[in-house]
């Protein structure tokens, strides 16, 4: 694949399919991530779709099935814009990998996240047009990409509860930061489910289905579910585990980076913080002594309740070894958990423990 990315600014976990994200200092430069730095998470192929031939089908438990062209979407529905952060459930898996092995998953660090302004049609407007039956409880999204698993094409699909699908924030997006979606981000149409894990924001959207049950696609039924630390892959009961929806409260330090060597004196510490479920960040606190004492950091940029915020703090460090720690608290007074080991799960999802960075000051 020909890629537009400046390799020096990206951490590339896999070339085919492309899985990459910006280095933490690049990530922390702009509250709206430019396309060229926006992280990419791809499970299979990048389909090559001719916009003139493109059709979106809407079927299932509804009165009026629809087949929509891109022109139909542009001309016959309301158009809205929303700033929202996309985060992969695998963010910060590298820290969990240091505790115990995690099979067949990418070792994402702080870079599986980005923020954009999305423009498109509210999903709700399309669901109103098809007249959804009262038995429908879930909305399934099917991607047009091929994903090989165990020698067959399982495709990429996901579903969200009907109540979330009817909320005003869920979009069928065709633009990102004022430009058409790029092929890697889902051209010509993708779902954006603000506040949910990235896997529900299906790219290259081909079909929407109204159904009584969640999607049976591999990526809804056999991935993106959370298990406690003691469960291992062979004993996992996938049927009864809950599918991941909302992103957890999280905050990280982007600068300085792990094991950086710094001169003594003032150091600016910078990072991002976010939370799902439409909550907002109330407070970000920083510790320079491994979590014993804390001082508040300043929130320096914030866009919408569906977007991350940027924080910073200046600390004065004397020579020696230090551990910086960050933690956030949301508007319902929920604080990030301290213990990384309690976060371990055999798929390596949703690590949101206090983030720690070790430094040596000269
Ligand atoms: N069709 C399709 N949609 C998809 C995926 C995919 O592989 N195929 N990856 C998902 C995952 S796991 C994430 S985190 C986001 C990433 O979106 P991005 O590549 O635009 O950052 O897309 C989601 N939508
Ligand atoms: Mo993801």
The protein residue with its alpha carbon nearest to ligand 1, atom 15, reads: 198
The CB of 88 under 6 Å from ligand 1? The reply is yes
How much is the pLDDT for 278? 80
Q: 11, 39, 42: which to mutate for ligand 1, most atoms within 8 A of CB?
A: 42
The protein residue with its alpha carbon nearest to ligand 1, atom 23, reads: 199
The model's pLDDT over 182-238, given as tens digits with 9 standing for 90+, comes to 999 999 999 999 999 999 999 999 999 999 999 999 999 999 999 999 999 999 999
The CB of 37 under 6 Å from ligand 1? The reply is no
Report the separation in Å between the CA atom of 181 and the middle of ligand 2, taken as the mean of its atom positions: 18
State how far the Cα of 333 lies from the Cα of 324, in Å rounded to an integer.
22
Report the separation in Å between the CA atom of 201 and the middle of ligand 1, taken as the mean of its atom positions: 6
Question: Which of ligand 1's atoms lies nearest the C-alpha of 197?
Answer: 14
Answer whether 66's CB lies under 8 Å from 58's CB.
Answer: yes
Question: Any idea which residue has 């009026």 for tokens?
Answer: 64
The CB of 33 under 6 Å from ligand 1? The reply is no
How much is the pLDDT for 152? 96
The CB of 41 under 6 Å from ligand 1? The reply is yes
How much is the pLDDT for 277? 84
Q: Which class for 78: exposed (0-12), middle (13-18), buried (19 or more C-beta within 10 A)?
A: exposed
How much is the pLDDT for 7? 62
The CB of 92 under 6 Å from ligand 1? The reply is no
Question: Which of ligand 1's atoms lies nearest the C-alpha of 44?
Answer: 7
Q: 49, 171, 203, 224: which to mutate for ligand 1, most atoms within 8 A of CB?
A: 203
The CB of 187 under 6 Å from ligand 1? The reply is no
Annotate the chain with three-state secondary structure. CCCCCCHHHEEEEECCCCEEEECHHHHCCCCCCCHHHCCEECCCCCCCCCCCCCCEEEEECECCCEEECHHHHHHHCCCEEEEEEEECCCCCHHHHHCCCCCCCCCCCCCCCEEEEEEEEEEHHHHHHHHCECCCCCEEEEEECCCCEECCEECCCEEEEEHHHHCCCCCEEEEEECCEECCHHHCCCCEEECCCECHHHCCCCEEEEEEECCCCCCHHHHCCCECCCCCCCHHHCCCCCCCECCECCCEEEEEECCCCEEECCEEEEEEEEEECCCCCCEEEEEEECECCCCCEECEEEEECCCCCCEEEEEEEEECCEEEEEEEEEEECCCCECCCCCHHHCCCCCCCCCCCEEEEEEEC
The CB of 192 under 6 Å from ligand 1? The reply is no
Q: Could you read off the pLDDT tens digit of each residue along the chain, which spans 362 residues?
A: 334 444 679 999 999 999 999 999 999 999 999 999 999 999 999 999 999 999 999 999 999 999 999 999 999 999 999 999 999 999 999 999 999 999 999 999 999 999 999 999 999 999 999 999 999 999 999 999 999 999 999 999 999 999 999 999 999 999 999 999 999 999 999 999 999 999 999 999 999 999 999 999 999 999 999 999 999 999 999 999 999 999 999 999 999 999 999 999 999 999 999 998 889 999 999 999 999 999 999 999 998 989 999 999 999 999 999 999 999 999 999 999 999 999 999 999 999 999 999 999 99
Find the Cα–Cα–Cα–Cα dihedral 150, 153, 346, 94, rounded to 10°.
Answer: 110
State how far the Cα of 219 lies from the Cα of 160, in Å rounded to an integer.
12
Answer whether 223's CB lies under 8 Å from 154's CB.
Answer: no
Which residues have their alpha-adjacent CB atom under 5 A from ion ligand 2?
41, 88, 198-199
How much is the pLDDT for 276? 86
Its pTM surpasses 0.85: yes
State how far the Cα of 359 lies from the Cα of 340, in Å rounded to an integer.
19
Q: Which two tokens stand for residue 358?
A: 């070790």
Answer whether 167's CB lies under 8 Å from 98's CB.
Answer: no
Report the separation in Å between the CA atom of 204 and the middle of ligand 1, taken as the mean of its atom positions: 9
How much is the pLDDT for 4? 42
The protein residue with its alpha carbon nearest to ligand 1, atom 19, reads: 40
Report the separation in Å between the CA atom of 159 and the middle of ligand 1, taken as the mean of its atom positions: 13
- Specify which residues 159 forms β-bridges with: 140
């Amino acid at each position: 694949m020909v890629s537009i990315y400046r390799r020096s600014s990206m951490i590339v976990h896999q070339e085919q399919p492309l899985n990459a994200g910006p280095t933490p200092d690049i990530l922390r430069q702009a509250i709206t991530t430019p396309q060229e730095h926006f992280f990419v998470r791809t499970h299979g192929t990048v389909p090559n779709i001719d916009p003139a031939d493109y059709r979106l089908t809407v079927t299932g438990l509804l009165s009026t099935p629809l087949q929509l062209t891109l022109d139909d979407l542009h001309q016959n529905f309301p158009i809205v814009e929303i700033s929202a952060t996309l985060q992969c459930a695998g963010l910060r898996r590298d820290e969990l990998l240091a505790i115990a092995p995690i099979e067949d998953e990418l070792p994402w660090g702080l870079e599986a996240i980005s923020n954009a302004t999305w423009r498109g049609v509210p999903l709700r407007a399309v669901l109103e047009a098809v007249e959804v039956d009262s038995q429908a409880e879930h909305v399934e999204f099917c991607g047009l990409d091929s994903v090989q698993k165990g020698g067959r094409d399982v495709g990429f699909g996901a579903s969200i509860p009907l109540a979330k699908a009817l909320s005003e924030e869920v979009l069928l997006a065709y633009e990102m930061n004022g430009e058409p979606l790029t092929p890697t981000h889902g051209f010509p149409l993708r779902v954006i489910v603000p506040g949910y894990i990235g896997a529900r924001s299906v790219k290259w959207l081909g079909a929407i289905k109204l159904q009584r049950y969640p999607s049976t696609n591999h990526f809804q039924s056999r991935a993106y579910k959370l298990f406690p630390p003691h469960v291992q892959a062979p004993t996992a009961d996938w049927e009864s585990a809950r599918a991941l929806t909302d992103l957890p409260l999280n905050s990280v330090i982007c600068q300085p980076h792990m094991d950086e060597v710094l001169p003594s004196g003032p150091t600016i510490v910078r990072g991002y913080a976010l939370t799902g479920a439409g909550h907002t960040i109330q407070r970000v606190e920083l510790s320079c002594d491994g979590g014993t004492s804390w001082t508040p950091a300043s929130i320096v940029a914030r866009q919408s309740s569906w977007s991350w915020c940027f924080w910073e703090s200046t600390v004065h460090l004397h020579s020696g070894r230090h551990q910086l720690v960050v933690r956030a608290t949301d508007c319902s007074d929920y604080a990030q958990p301290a213990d990384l080991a309690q976060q371990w799960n055999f798929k390596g999802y949703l690590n949101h423990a206090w983030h720690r960075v070790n430094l040596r000051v000269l």
